[in-house]
Amino acid sequence: MKACVLETAAPIEQNPLAFTEVPVPEPGAHEVLVRVHACGVCRTDLHVVEGDLPPRKRPVIPGHQVVGTVERCGAGAGRFRAGARVGVAWLHRTCGVCEYCRRGQENLCGAATFTGYTVDGGYAEYIVAAENFVYPIPEGFSDMAAAPLLCAGIIGFRSLRVSGIRPGGALGLYGFGAAAHVAIQVARHWGVRVYAMTRDERHRALARELGAEWAGSGDDQPPEKLDAAVIFAPAGELVVSALRVLKKGGTVALGGIYMSPIPAMDYNLLYHERVIRSVANNTRQDGEEFLKIAAEIPIHTEVQEFPLAEANRALGMLKNDAVRGAAVLRVSS
């Protein structure tokens, strides 16, 4: 099968992903082999490719926003039939028995494995996944439109929950890429006023189109103080910017897996019970509940399409904020 393989981490400008031929993987017990139709391109993929995240598997095939159809099932796998349309997300598998798994925090499992990072992902024509960590894709979404829902959507949804935002509240979104352009639609569905902070005017325009009441840059003062903020951009200085415009008792949720160092700050910025919280991975419950609400709204994803062979170019454009909405690789029909 064709796949984009990372042997050694390097700046994306050096085109570190090799478009090559590799064997089709075999599904193990309680696993399914999925023929990949589309795979979203995520900033986490960029962090894997460029080495911001410590290497866990080499070589590795990145990609964790996979939409495809079940090709065949491994021994004991009976949740899906061949031909079923499914999604494969970041959380590949957990142990199911540790203290975190037992109390509904499987996203914190110390033995968890992750699609496109510790196991091969969806920048390929086929992928293997554990059947209990695979999602049915709701009707009404094309393969290309559904792909960003599987990380940008799920993590954006979890970030909104962690932020504690409530209907009628004022929410700041820092960085307006794939995750934010989905999260704003959920927030508006909940009756939240949204203010977008992003450095690119094209992204500000998209934010306004999707219902933002105001859009500016990261250091700008929004028209009102915020009840909560979610930071999707991997820039630590934005934590300070968000705290400056946060109400007492508000929360700044950090929606990324990687962030540059957070600068030293005056304690008064954090005082009055303001909270900084990270968002680590997601649970299957997050994914199931988000996909349900995505179909109810319904969520519209703004997608820029690339062929699989151009994964390096897609990641380069993502790095340079040149993608409007979400980048998605078209793998097969």
User: In sequence order, what DSSP letters do the residues of 167-185 get, joined into one string?
Assistant: TT-EEEEES-SHHHHHHHH
Sign of CA dihedral 166, 172, 178, 179: negative
Q: What single DSSP character describes residue 324?
A: S
Mean pLDDT across 246-275: 97
| pLDDT at residue 299, as a whole number | 97
Report which secondary-structure segment, H or E, holds 20: strand 17-21
> What is the pLDDT confidence band of residue 275, given thresholds at 50, 70 and 90?
very high
**Greatest CA span in the chain, whole angstroms?**
58
Asked whether 39 and 2 are in contact (CB, 8 A), the reply is: no
Number of helices (H), then strands (E), belonging to the chain: the values are: 10, 17
> What is the pLDDT confidence band of residue 184, given thresholds at 50, 70 and 90?
very high
Residue 174 φ then ψ, to 5°: -100, 115
pLDDT at 126 over 90: yes
Environment class of 211 (CB within 10 Å of its CB; exposed 0-12, middle 13-18, buried 19+): middle
pLDDT at 8 over 90: yes
- Report the chain's mean pLDDT, rounded to a whole number: 97
| pLDDT at residue 313, as a whole number | 98
pLDDT at 333 over 90: no
> What is the pLDDT confidence band of residue 157, given thresholds at 50, 70 and 90?
very high
Mean pLDDT across 32-51: 98
> What's the pTM?
0.94
CA nearest to 134, candidates 82, 67, 211: 67
Rounded CA-CA distance 45/67 in Å is 16
Distances (CA, A) of 39 to 144, 250, 329: 8, 35, 5
Token pair of 158, please? Answer: 């979890």
List of domains in the chain: 2-150+281-330 (3.90.180.10), 153-278 (3.40.50.720)
Sign of CA dihedral 312, 284, 135, 27: positive
Mean pLDDT across 154-175: 98
pLDDT at 290 over 80: yes
Tokens 């500000």 found at: 204
Mean pLDDT across 204-218: 96
| pLDDT at residue 61, as a whole number | 98
Mean pLDDT across 293-300: 97
Mean pLDDT across 299-315: 97
pLDDT at 123 over 90: yes
- Interval 221-231: pLDDT, tens: 999 999 999 99
Rounded CA-CA distance 68/35 in Å is 5
* DSSP one-letter string for 132-161: GGEEEPPTT--HHHHGGGGTHHHHHHHHHH
